[in-house]
A and B are shown apart, each in its own frame.
With several copies, the nearest count.
Chain A
Amino acid sequence: MFHYFKRAVLDILSNRFLNVITIVTIALSILVVSTFVLFFENTSRVIDSWNQGFRLVAYLGESFTPSMLPKLTAKIQAMAEAGEIRFIPKEEGLALLKQEMKNRSAFLETLEENPLPHVLEIRMKRTGLEWDEITAFAKTVEQLPQVTDVEYGQQWLGRFLSLFNLFRVTGYAMSSLFFLIALFITANTVRLALYSRRQEVEIMRLVGATDRFIITPFYIQGLIQGTLGGIVGLSILLIIFLVISLNLQESAASYMLFDIQFLSVKYWVIIIFGSAFLGWLGCYLSLKQFIKY
């Protein structure tokens, strides 16, 4: 095995042009995939943080008294979808309403009695819920004894969610598509590199080399090329990211109410392994064509 590895390294050194081209192509393909993943991850993260802002508002009937609160809260908390629950007494509700209405709030002062009900604000536990799930959850909450009505984004929220889910699905589909394309491009490049070495392969066969003897160093080369390509691609992305995020932080610091973050170590590992696999598979697909008796 070591012997094959040595031959693979020697071969890389004596075919520098072909190897550099292949590694650069793999690096660029990885750059596309990882740039997109980075973009998609950050956008998803920001959207998720918004998404968490969505809440159900449950209006409590006249029959409700604050002493019932712990029991009601526990009941709701038992539901899978429910996250944080906040109780807003009608006094606080009125204050909020005044604040909300601003210019139109003068008349509220003239009221003798607080006309508002008590309210429970329920946040969603998971992000990325489907519209169906939210509707179902709302129905369940509405059926609780003290709850008279449930209000949630309705139309607007449905639209928002379907968009986000579409965004998410498209994002994953595109990541896969880009990975597939990277694979094809890599295979193509490896195929071209091998094409210009087909005579060499033919000569090796003619002097009595077995398939294994010929193929193994190519596979090892593919793995090395893939790994190097992955590292180079990721490094380029990191550099671009650092340059851009530094600039953004300077010029647009005031608008930046969220962080953009680089890919996590988990992704680094996935990308580099994926890239090594890419190099190997590129070899596999191409060698099939050139190594035949």
Chain B
Amino acid sequence: MLWGGDRARAAPDLLLNTYAKDEMETRDPIIRLFNVSKRYGKHYAVKDITIDVDAGEFIFVTGSSGAGKSTLMKMIYLAERASQGQIIVDGMNLDRISHARIPYLRRNIGVIFQDFKLIPNKTVYGNVALVLEAAGERSAMIRRRVMQVLETTGMADKVNAFPPSLSGGEQQRVAVARAVVGNPKIILADEPTGSLDSESAQSVLDFLMQYHDKGATVLIVSHNMQLISSTVRARSISLADGTLVGTATML
């Protein structure tokens, strides 16, 4: 698989290539998995996976339903602990990280959860602002950042709405906004376009690409082949039944 189908982003691409060349040699792996497995009961959700993700990489994770994609993500942001193997994220060994350090690990990782995980009794604004509040930012800065990011995801007119009154796609865009608002080093997006029409899906992808261009490492779990094939310079990792069955780089 090389270049995807229709590509609307020519200019940023050029920029990206230049940027990529400069940094190519100096990049270190920001996420490292060594023989990682996750077992639930007798069943392995993830089995013996070893991957290095370089800082600034853009990666698609694919695989059929139940292949272990979400589980892999969860282990990276430590919602689940690996049963076996070692995970190192941003220099921290997740096996040995102290309880008190976990929030700081998570502040470096923006997650778009597969089920959104919006707080139902907080407004859209409150949900997105929470990330910055938890990080102890000043309120003027919070206001500016949150409004800016909601503007870009097209949710600015719903700032005061509560998640249960939003459409599926709107909820998903709030989840995207929340994941990026803290300018995290790593963005983990679990099916970030599942509830979106192809146009909105493309704009969310472009949006994540902007953060990637600014240096963020992005991992996207997706079933949307059209989207995947439209993205340049992305590595694609494929899981089946918890094991790694393929890697491909589109250039």
Residue positions of A touching B, CB distance < 8 A: 7, 14-15, 199-200, 203-211, 213, 293
Q: Are B134 and A208 in contact (CB under 8 A)?
A: yes
Interface size class on chain B is: 20 to 34
8 Å CB interface, B97-134 against A: 99-100, 102-104, 106-107, 111, 113, 117-122, 130-131, 133-134
CB-defined contacts of A14 to chain B, threshold 8 Å: 121-122
Is B79's beta carbon under 8 Å from chain A?
A: yes
Shortest Cβ gap from B4 to chain A (Å): 32
State whether A208 touches B103 (Cβ < 8 A). yes
In the bound complex, do residue A210 and residue B119 qualify as a contact, i.e. CB atoms below 8 Å apart? no
User: Which residues in window 26-62 of B have CB below 8 A to A?
Assistant: none
Q: How far is the CB of A217 from chain B (nearest CB, A)?
A: 11
List, in ascending order, chain A residues with CB within 8 A of B113's CB: 206
Partner of B103, one of A199, A200, A209: A209
Query: Chain B: residues with CB nearer than 8 A to chain A?
Result: 77, 79, 99-100, 102-104, 106-107, 111, 113, 117-122, 130-131, 133-135, 178, 182
* Contact assessment for B119 and A208 in the assembled complex, using a CB-CB cutoff below 8 Å: no
Instruction: Determine if A207 and B102 form an interchain contact, defined as CB atoms under 8 angstroms apart.
Output: no
Nearest A residue (CB) for B122: A14
A-B contact pairs, 25 of them (CB 8 A): A199-B119, A200-B120, A203-B119, A204-B130, A205-B103, A205-B106, A206-B77, A206-B79, A206-B106, A207-B106, A207-B111, A207-B134, A207-B178, A208-B103, A208-B104, A208-B106, A208-B107, A208-B182, A209-B103, A209-B130, A210-B100, A211-B100, A213-B103, A293-B99, A293-B102
Q: Are B178's CB and A15's CB within 8 A?
A: no
Write out the residue numbers on chain B whose beta carbons fall within 8 Å of the beta carbon of A7.
133
- Please indicate the chain A residues that have their CB under 8 angstroms from the CB of B122 in the complex: 14, 200
Q: Is the CB of A210 within 8 A of B121?
A: no
Q: What residues of A have a CB within 8 angstroms of the CB of B106 in the complex? A: 205-208
A15, A207, A211: the one within 8 Å of B130 (CB) = A207
State how many angstroms separate the Cβ of A97 from the closest Cβ of chain B.
81
Max chain A CB contacts within 10 Å: which of B102, B104, B119, B135? B119
Q: Given A14-B122, A293-B102: A206 and B134 within 8 A (CB)?
A: no
Chain A residues whose CB sits within 8 angstroms of the CB of B100 once the complex forms? 210-211
B117 touches A210 (CB 8 A): no
CB distance from B85 to the nearest CB of A (A): 20
Task: Give Cα A75 to B121, complex, Å.
Answer: 76
Interfacial chain B residues near A208, Cβ < 8 Å: 103-104, 106-107, 131, 134-135, 182
Determine whether the beta carbon of B134 is less than 8 Å from that of A213: yes
- Which residues of B are found within 8 Å of A207, using beta-carbon distances? 106, 111, 130-131, 134, 178
B residues in contact with A213, CB < 8 Å: 103, 133-134
> How far does the Cβ of B38 sit from chain A's closest Cβ, in whole Å?
17
Residues of B within 8 A of A293 (CB): 99, 102
Query: What residues of B have a CB within 8 angstroms of the CB of A205 in the complex?
Result: 103, 106
**Which 4 pairs from chain A and chain B are nearest by CB?**
A209-B134, A208-B106, A208-B107, A210-B103
Most buried by B among A7, A14, A199, A207: A207
Give chain B nearest CB distance to A205 CB in angstroms: 7
A186 to chain B, nearest CB (A): 22
CB pair A206–B117 under 8 Å, yes or no, is yes
